[in-house]
């Protein structure tokens, strides 16, 4: 993991001290709310529907056990004993008191964490593939570059007041688990004919009221040119982004309005002017960063996973969990363990402090102290020996964290919605819970197979509904919540935007509609065809027919 240097640590401490003084001045009235609001937002503190909310950055979703324990302590001492992992690999605390926030930030600083740039029109927390560094299909670990981008974008004076917020995601694998095409900038590590690795750069993706898939502006950018090239993109955006209209201020609108060709031309013109030696990072510095992400020492695999295979045969519950939760690791004898934060009928992404501590203990003992947060609101233990999988499963089971539903119908992404969020138009968590309860029976889930349901409680789409195989958008009409359904969205390497199937559904009927869609799929699928493939083959018509005939 990356460790702060003295400069980082001193800076974060200074920032906490500044914020402590700002809170003091707010409480004694020296600062009005109007004056204080931008200051608190720069430190991740929102005022939500029922209370303040603190959004803590988890750079590229990577946590140590010590950090996870600190989050648990904050949940216990300053909140209601739980936290909410978000679709941006962050964690949110829903009930902090303003007066306590400086103390919370102190605790975060103790473990090299903060809440800077988790709000505002700046470059937000850089996200990455949650299997980075261990995925079997990976070309190269994206985390050193994500860290480089974090350092470059933190308090960058030129990019601190952009037209609108800006999100960057990085993947080092051809299988896109980071939804890079739905980001303002998406980076894919690719290999050229000479066997060198560099970046494919995508720009202009996004969710919200105007969903767009990013376009590739460059097939190949060298590592040395990564920062200068991104600088050029940011400069074009900063200059031409629509500051006059909040709804048109994201870079996706600029790319769309200029057209990809013209946008590329302007970026290239800017890039040609940039002093690359000044902005680019020397190879030695990149190597220094990369050493923090060097693989741990792995034991020889030999025959040590015999116990694992024996347990798979003898324990059906373990086998069912392993089938969904365990993914291939790049090193023999090891596995990636995905921890579901989606108990059937539960709140997607929530974890109690006890669960956070359990994960910290398990990671320390069996995953080389590494934890990841996925944008699908689950956790990952990236470094588990196969021979330890059974013990890990037992420990997760004791903590209520062994729901065997990763990638299944109850593994639903949901934003906080109108249960917490002041921007929401409808509740989303209760809809996730109803669908999960309705379809969450183990045999039923297995029958349905791989499917992604994603729910947002407003058009801002924090619940990624545009990228859901089944997307649900909560709206309000004449005082009642209603839900629009989209089909065929995807956030992977073949990204697509879901299409609205027709009139919306009430909170009472939306679960029926989802079940009808699922049953229609089961009725028409070919052998081994998952929901998305079936939808892409047959289109929306059979689903519309089934849903609107039945309602």
Partner 1 sequence: MTLARKATGPRLLTANRLDDGLVVFLAPDGQWHPDAARAAIARNDAQAAALEADGADAVRANLVVGPYLVEITEDDGSIVPVEHRERRRLAGPSVSTSASTAKALAA
450 binds partner 1 (CB under 8 A): no
Q: Which stretch binds partner 1 (CB under 8 A): 102-110, 266-274, 308-316, 421-429?
A: 421-429
DSSP assignments along 271-308, one per residue: HHHS-HHHHSPPHHHHHHHHHTTPPPPPPP-TTTTHHH
Tell the residue number behind the tokens 């009430």, with chain if given.
Answer: 506
Q: What is the pattern of x (binds partner 1, CB under 8 A) and - over residues 83-112?
A: -------------xxxx-------------
**Of 27 and 269, CB closest to partner 1:** 27
Alpha helices in 28-169 (DSSP H): 33-42, 65-78, 101-110, 143-153
Q: Which is nearer to partner 1, 80 or 265 (CB)?
A: 80
Distance CA 252, CA 271 (A): 19
Nearer to partner 1, 223 or 342 (CB): 342
Residue number, 47 or 111, with CB nearest to partner 1: 47
Nearer to partner 1, 84 or 334 (CB): 84
Each residue 459-498 as x (binds partner 1 by CB under 8 A) or -, in order, gives -----------------x--xxx-----------------
User: What's the maximum distance between 2 C-alpha atoms anywhere in the chain?
Assistant: 68
CB of 29 or CB of 195, closer to partner 1:
29
DSSP code, position 48: -
Cα gap 388→386, rounded to integer Å = 5
Provide the minimum distance between the beta carbon of 476 and partner 1 in the complex, in angstroms, as a whole number. Answer: 5
Q: Which of 56, 429, 495, 501 binds partner 1 (CB under 8 A)?
A: 429
Neighbours of 47 (CB within 10 A): 14
Give the nearest distance from C-beta 403 to partner 1 in angstroms.
7
Residue 433 touches partner 1, criterion: CB under 8 A: yes
- The answer to whether 419 and 431 are in contact (CB under 8 A) is no
Residue 427, CB-side half-sphere exposure with 13 Å CA sphere: 14
Q: Does 508 bind partner 1 (CB under 8 A)?
A: no
Please give the residues from 322 up to 351 whose contact with partner 1 meets the rule CB under 8 A: 343-347, 350
The residue from 307, 361, 419, 529 that contacts partner 1 (CB under 8 A) is 419
Residue whose entry in the numeric block shows the structure tokens 């921890």: 339
Binders of partner 1 among 230-259, rule CB under 8 A?
none
Q: Quick one: which of 273, 252, 254 has its CA closest to 262? A: 254
- Residue 430 in the binding site for partner 1 (CB under 8 A): yes
Distance of alpha carbon 418 from alpha carbon 48, whole angstroms: 10
Q: Does 361 bind partner 1 (CB under 8 A)?
A: no
Instruction: Please choose, out of 226-234, 358-366, 387-395, 427-435, the segment that lies near partner 1 by the rule CB under 8 A.
Output: 427-435
6 binds partner 1 (CB under 8 A): no
- Which residue in 62, 352, 378, 405 binds partner 1 (CB under 8 A)? 352
Query: What distance, in Å, lies between the first and last C-alpha atoms of the chain?
Result: 52
Taking the complex as a whole, the smallest distance from the CB of residue 347 to partner 1 amounts, in Å, to 5
- The least CB distance from residue 416 to partner 1, in Å, is 9
Binding span for partner 1 by CB under 8 A among 150-158, 181-189, 416-424, 536-544:
416-424
State the DSSP string of 447-494. HH-S--EEEESSTT-TT-GGG-SEEEEEEEETTEEEEEEEES-B-STT
Q: Is there binding between residue 410 and partner 1 (CB under 8 A)?
A: no
Nearer to partner 1, 119 or 151 (CB): 119
8 Å CB contact between 379 and 62: no
Q: What's the CA gap between 356 and 277, in Å, rounded?
A: 44
Q: Does 27 bind partner 1 (CB under 8 A)?
A: yes
In the complex, minimum distance from the CB of residue 536 to partner 1, in angstroms, rounded to a whole number: 34
Give the separation between CA 123 and CA 131, rounded to whole angstroms. 23
Binding of residue 441 to partner 1 (CB under 8 A): no
Counting contacts by CB under 8 A, is residue 355 touching partner 1?
A: yes
Based on CB atoms, which residue is closest to partner 1, 96 or 463? 96
Residue closer to partner 1 by CB (options 96, 186) is 96
Helix, coil or strand: residue 56: strand
| From 1, 39, 49, 155, residue interacting with partner 1 (rule: CB under 8 A) | 49
Task: Give the residue, chosen from 5, 21, 50, 245, that forms a contact with partner 1 under the rule CB under 8 A.
Answer: 50
Q: Which position among 1, 39, 47, 155 is part of the footprint of partner 1 (CB under 8 A)? A: 47
Closest CA to 518 of 432, 452, 427, 428: 452
Alpha-carbon distance of 187 to 145, in angstroms, equals 10
Q: In b/e form, how buried is each residue of 502-519, taking b as 16+ CB within 10 angstroms?
A: eebbebebbbbbbbbbbe
In eight-state DSSP terms, residue 34 is H
Cβ closest to partner 1, residue 29 vs residue 528: 29
**Does the footprint of partner 1 cover residue 449 (CB under 8 A)?**
no
Pull the structure tokens for residue 500. Answer: 């609205």
Provide the token pair at 224.
Answer: 């040395």
Residues in region 63-82 near partner 1 by CB under 8 A = 80-82
Taking the C-alpha atoms of residue 182 and residue 202, their distance in angstroms, rounded to an integer, is: 9
* Cα distances (Å, whole numbers) of residue 208 to 27, 62, 187, 466, 467: 35, 26, 20, 8, 11
Residues in contact with partner 1 by CB under 8 A are 26-29, 33, 47-52, 80-82, 96-99, 343-347, 350, 352, 355, 400, 403, 418-420, 425, 427, 429-430, 433, 476, 479-481
């Amino acid at each position: 993991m990356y460790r702060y240097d003295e400069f980082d640590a001193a800076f974060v401490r200074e920032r906490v001290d500044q914020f402590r003084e700002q809170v003091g001045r707010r409480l004694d009235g020296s600062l009005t709310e109007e004056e204080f609001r931008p200051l608190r937002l720069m430190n991740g503190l929102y005022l939500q529907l029922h209370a303040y909310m603190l959004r803590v950055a988890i750079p590229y979703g990577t946590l140590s056990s010590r950090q996870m324990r600190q989050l648990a302590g904050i949940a216990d001492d300053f909140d209601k004993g739980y936290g909410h992992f978000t679709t941006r690999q962050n964690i949110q605390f829903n009930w902090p008191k303003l007066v306590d926030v400086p103390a919370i930030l102190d605790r975060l600083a103790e473990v090299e964490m903060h809440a800077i740039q988790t709000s505002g029109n700046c470059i937000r927390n850089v996200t990455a593939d949650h299997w980075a560094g261990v995925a079997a299909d990976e070309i190269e670990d994206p985390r050193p570059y994500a860290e480089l981008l974090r350092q470059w974008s933190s308090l960058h004076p030129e990019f601190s007041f952009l037209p609108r917020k800006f999100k960057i995601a990085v993947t080092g694998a051809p299988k896109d688990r980071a939804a890079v095409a739905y980001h303002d900038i998406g980076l894919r590590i690719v290999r050229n004919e000479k066997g060198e690795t560099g970046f494919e750069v995508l720009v202009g993706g996004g969710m919200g009221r105007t969903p767009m898939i990013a376009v590739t502006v460059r097939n190949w950018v060298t590592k040395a040119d990564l920062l200068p090239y991104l600088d050029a993109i940011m400069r074009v955006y900063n200059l031409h982004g629509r500051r006059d209209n909040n709804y048109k201020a994201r870079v996706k609108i600029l790319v769309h309005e200029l057209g990809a060709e013209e946008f590329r031309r302007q970026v290239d013109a800017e890039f040609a002017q940039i002093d690359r030696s000044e902005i680019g990072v020397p190879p030695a510095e990149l190597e220094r960063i990369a050493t923090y992400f060097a693989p741990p020492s792995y034991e020889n695999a030999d025959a040590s996973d015999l116990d694992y295979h024996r347990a798979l045969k003898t324990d059906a519950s373990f086998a069912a969990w392993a089938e969904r939760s365990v993914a291939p690791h790049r090193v023999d004898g090891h596995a990636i363990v995905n921890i579901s934060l989606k108990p059937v009928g539960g709140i997607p992404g929530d974890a109690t402090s006890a669960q956070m501590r359990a994960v910290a203990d398990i990671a320390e003992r069996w995953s080389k102290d590494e934890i990841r947060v996925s944008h699908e609101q689950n956790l990952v233990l990236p470094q588990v020996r196969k021979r330890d999988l059974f013990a890990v499963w037992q420990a997760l089971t004791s903590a209520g964290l062994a729901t065997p539903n990763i990638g299944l119908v109850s593994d639903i992404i949901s934003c906080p919605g109108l249960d917490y969020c002041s921007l929401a138009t409808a509740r989303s968590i209760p809809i996730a819970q109803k669908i999960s309860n309705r379809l969450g029976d183990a045999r039923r889930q297995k029958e349905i197979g791989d499917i992604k349901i994603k729910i947002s409680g407003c058009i801002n789409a924090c619940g990624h509904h545009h990228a859901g195989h089944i997307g649900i958008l909560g709206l309000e009409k004449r005082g009642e919540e209603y839900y629009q359904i989209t089909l065929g969205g995807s956030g992977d390497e073949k990204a697509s935007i879901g299409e609205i199937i027709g009139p919306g559904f009430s909170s009472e009927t939306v679960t029926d509609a989802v079940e009808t869609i699922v049953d229609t799929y089961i009725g028409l699928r070919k052998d081994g065809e998952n929901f998305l493939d079936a939808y892409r083959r047959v289109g929306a018509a059979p689903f519309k027919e089934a849903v609107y005939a039945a309602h």
